[in-house]
Amino acid sequence: MIVSATKIQNWCNENISPVAWQRVVVKSLPQLRESGFELSDLMNPVATLVLSEDAFDIIASCIEELYQTHLEMNLVAI
């Protein structure tokens, strides 16, 4: 399944805090770089930026670690 980076960003803003996405991106960036993402790609993602399941898993894991909340893939899938 493919997920939208902007949908995850919006979910973080609405369900955690307005700065949650930035914190998640910074914390998960070393792992996401292995998939070819850069900080500039993720901080303000364009509407067409999609993430693989692996990238989603990295971000979801980071959200759980930082905020003790679970992000469901079906909430942000395209």
| pLDDT digits 0-9 by tens, 12-28 | 999 999 999 999 999 99
pTM exceeding 0.85: yes
Provide the residue range defining the domain that includes 27.
3-75
**pLDDT computed for residue 66 by the predictor:** 97
Query: How many domains does the chain divide into?
Result: 1
**pLDDT computed for residue 69 by the predictor:** 95
How far is the C-alpha of 17 from the C-alpha of 3, rounded, in Å?
20
Extract the residue ranges of the chain whose pLDDT is less than 70.
none
**pLDDT computed for residue 23 by the predictor:** 97
CA-based nearest residue to 37, from 49, 22, 48, 47: 49
